Amino acid sequence: MQLNELKICKAMEQESVEHVPCVLDSVLVDVWEAAVLPMLSLADIFQLCGVTRRVRELLHTEDIFRRLCQNRYQISPCLDRSYILVAEHLWIATSVSSIHKSTYWRDAHCVVDSDDCHDQKKVFARKDRMIVQLSGLALMPPTTRDHTIIRMSPPESEPLIKTLWLLPEGACSYLPDLSTSLLDEQCRVRDEEERVSLGAATSLLLDNCGSHEEYQTRILDKLERDIPATVSYVPYVNRSCRLVELAKCFESLARSDPELLLSLRCENLIPTLPQHITTRWTYNPYDYLFIDINEGHLLGHDTLATQNWINFTVKLAELHSLLKLVIKGILRVSQLEDYFVAVMEYDELWQSLSESSRPSREILYCDLGSYLLSTLPTSQSEKELTKEELLSAMEQCGKPTVVCV
């Protein structure tokens, strides 16, 4: 595996493949292409390239990655460049562009390791940059040729946004070979805000390039220059995914059992819960880009409510240390709902105690994460905690915090 691939795999915080059945070595080429590849992300493919020499010979070829780039990202198959490198850069860019953009800047350090609001804004600014470049690359809709790998493309091809409105300075920063004077002269701006649409900016760039291939080459060159700075944000991708999964679990439980909100001791956060009634979870991280507060209605009630549930979970993680550690991947639970169920069961126990022997739940939930880290042996740092173990830890951690009257 190349050095860049090793660095990226480490950055993604992915577990190494400890055991892969040797049957992979005997898989035929046509089976790989028709049945296996459509189910794999680019991250999976790069990781599998390091399993055995036979698998690497099957996967790590320009032809395989040329078709992956064409079918998943609508990249021209006639570029004069390495498609393996293009795929690697597109994967990094797509991963970073999927980081959830929380509206709570200062509370987002359950995902971003910093209390500095400016550092968090840098992450989200990089996300915005990647989404514009990815959206600009895909000029044409996905092809529909009769091939399984095309019909079953994974989600790398999602960020296709042509209706974004950008300040001319931003468009010139994100896209190559554009100037503010050129945009002002040839692209219609948006009323008094003087913003230009992404579609208009890319159309102008395409006209100047003269061909689809030259157009994509210039954007890919721009993307490649941005990759060294972008890859440093990749570790936050898995955290963002865990945050969204946790929020989805929390939303489902909270709607089915409203008592959960009281058990979590988050009464002060309840007013910030979604006001929109939604019947389904609707999440796409690309929906929230460049949307002003006054334009929020464009997203729809389901999407707005889902976003608010995630942002609420960000706030909740600041009060419940175990949730923050789960998002960061430092502690694991066997099932996401186990923590919430354990909290409700502990609440029943807490209610049964006399007032003089009740521990402070606020302190308990704030300290539970560090308590578990101090009590778990190093050999069990990767252990998945069960509901019973979480409940027992709450009981033990709560004993020193008993309030005496």
List, as one string, the DSSP characters of 188-218: -B-GGG--EEHHHHHHHHHHHH-SHHHHHHH
pLDDT attached to residue 355: 82
| Residues 218-241 pLDDT 10s | 999 999 999 999 998 888 899 999
pLDDT attached to residue 327: 92
Determine contact, residues 101/124, Cβ cutoff 8 Å: yes
pLDDT attached to residue 21: 44
pLDDT attached to residue 59: 80
Q: How far is CA 126 from the centre of its chain?
A: 13
| Residues 271-282 pLDDT 10s | 666 655 566 888
Torsions phi, psi for 28 (to 5 deg): -75, 155
Determine contact, residues 39/27, Cβ cutoff 8 Å: no
d(CA 398, CA 353): 12
Which segments of the chain have a pLDDT < 70?
1-36, 103-109, 113-118, 139-163, 188-193, 267-279, 287-300, 378-381, 400-405
Determine contact, residues 287/300, Cβ cutoff 8 Å: no
d(CA 35, CA 216): 29
d(CA 49, CA 87): 14
Q: Where are the domains of the chain?
A: 3-96+123-230, 235-401
DSSP state of 384: E
d(CA 327, CA 331): 8
Determine contact, residues 393/371, Cβ cutoff 8 Å: yes
pLDDT attached to residue 1: 41
| C-alpha distance from residue 82 to each of 3, 46, 48, 66, 115 (Å) | 16, 15, 19, 8, 39
pLDDT attached to residue 83: 95
Would you tell me the crossing angle of helices 337-352 and 321-328 to the nearest 10 degrees?
A: 170
Instruction: Tell the residue number behind the tokens 């800047």, with chain if given.
Output: 105
Determine contact, residues 325/331, Cβ cutoff 8 Å: yes
Torsions phi, psi for 44 (to 5 deg): -60, -45
**At 197, is the secondary structure helix, strand, or coil?**
strand
Determine contact, residues 194/169, Cβ cutoff 8 Å: no
pLDDT attached to residue 195: 81
